Chain A
C-alpha cells in the first residue's frame, strides 16, 4: 500500500463541517466516482451491465438512485456518474470497466468533484440563493447540473438532504458561497 496521504478538496486532512442555523454543510471527501457512458449501439447492453452492478436500473433522465452498495445519477444522454464509498471501492473505475466491458466508456472522476452534503430543514431557502433549480418543488431522487456562483455543479436531492458536487479546484470558492448564502438565508 502506498503512503501518499490524501488531502480533502478544502485542503485539510480532515473533512470540514459547518452548522449555520438549522443547516449543516459537510465536506464528504471519501467518495469514489466514475463516469460511465454507453458506447454507440451498446446503450441497452450498458444499461443491463449497470443494472447487474448497481442492483437497480440505471437512473432515468435527471434522476438519482441508490443501490445496495453503489449509487448513480444521470449526467447526460446515456451517461451516468457512479458513486461509492472510497474505502470499499478505491478501484471503482476499474471495476466498472470490467463489468461494462466494451459496452461503455468509463472514466475515473474520483478526484474531479468535491462533494458537500447539506442536511437540515428548509434547504430550499438556502439553495434559492445559489442556483436556479426549483428545489422546493423537486422530488427526492432528482439530479441536475446547474450554475452555482459561475460553476457548473451537480445538485442531487435525496430523502435526507442535498448532495452538491463542485469542480474540486473551486471547492473553496463554492464552500465560501455556501456559508455566505447560509448566513444570509438562515440565521
Chain B
C-alpha cells in the first residue's frame, strides 16, 4: 500500500507500523471519577468496520510521525491522511 504522508508525500506502507483504531487517541482521564469503566471501553472495545476506518500508522522507518489514515478495509482505498498530532489537538487533547 501507499500512504500519502501529509509532509512527505507517497510512502510505501512497509516503512510504517500499524496500530489500529484511531480512537486510541481519545484516552480517558485516569484521575476522573469512574475512570475504570471508561478505560475498559478504551482498552478493549474497538470498531472493526468493513468499510471506512480511521486508523493509526507510525512512520517508524521514516520521520517518526504518527498518522491517522482513513482507509476502506474492503478496498484498501485511502481517502485521508493526517498527522495524528493535529488530529489529537483538533479533538481537544492538549497536555
Touching in the complex, A and B, CB below 8 A?
yes
Q: How far, in whole Å, are A61 and B83 apart by their CA atoms in the complex?
A: 14
Report, as a range, how many residues of chain A touch the other chain.
Answer: 10 to 19
**Contact present for A77 and B7 (CB under 8 Å):** yes
Residues from chain A with a CB closer than 8 A to the CB of B8 are 61-62, 144
Instruction: Determine whether A76 belongs to the interface, using a CB cutoff of 8 Å to chain B.
Output: yes
Segment from A15-23, A90-98, A145-153 that makes contact with B: A145-153
Segment from B21-29, B32-40, B61-69 that makes contact with A: B61-69
Residues from chain A with a CB closer than 8 A to the CB of B85 are 77
Q: How far, in whole Å, are A145 and B16 apart by their CA atoms in the complex?
A: 12
Instruction: Determine whether B60 belongs to the interface, using a CB cutoff of 8 Å to chain A.
Output: yes
Residues from chain B with a CB closer than 8 A to the CB of A152 are 15, 60-62
Residues from chain A with a CB closer than 8 A to the CB of B61 are 145-147, 152
Q: How far, in whole Å, are A145 and B61 apart by their CA atoms in the complex?
A: 7
**Contact present for B65 and A77 (CB under 8 Å):** yes
**Contact present for B15 and A146 (CB under 8 Å):** yes
Q: Mark A54-77, 1 if CB is under 8 A from B, else 0.
A: 000000011000000000001111
Among the listed B7, B62, B65, which residue makes an inter-chain contact with A146, where contact means beta carbons less than 8 Å apart? Answer: B62
Instruction: Determine whether A159 belongs to the interface, using a CB cutoff of 8 Å to chain B.
Output: no
Q: Mark B2-15, 1 if CB is under 8 A from A, else 0.
A: 00000110001011
Instruction: Determine whether A5 belongs to the interface, using a CB cutoff of 8 Å to chain B.
Output: no
Q: How far, in whole Å, are A62 and B8 apart by their CA atoms in the complex?
A: 7
Q: Which residues of B contact A (CB under 8 A)?
A: 7-8, 12, 14-15, 60-65, 83, 85
Q: List 12 A-B contacts (CB under 8 A).
A: A61-B8, A75-B63, A76-B65, A77-B63, A77-B85, A132-B15, A144-B8, A144-B62, A145-B63, A146-B61, A152-B15, A152-B60
Q: Which 10 A-B pairs have the closest CB atoms?
A: A152-B61, A76-B63, A132-B12, A147-B61, A61-B7, A145-B62, A76-B64, A62-B8, A147-B15, A147-B14
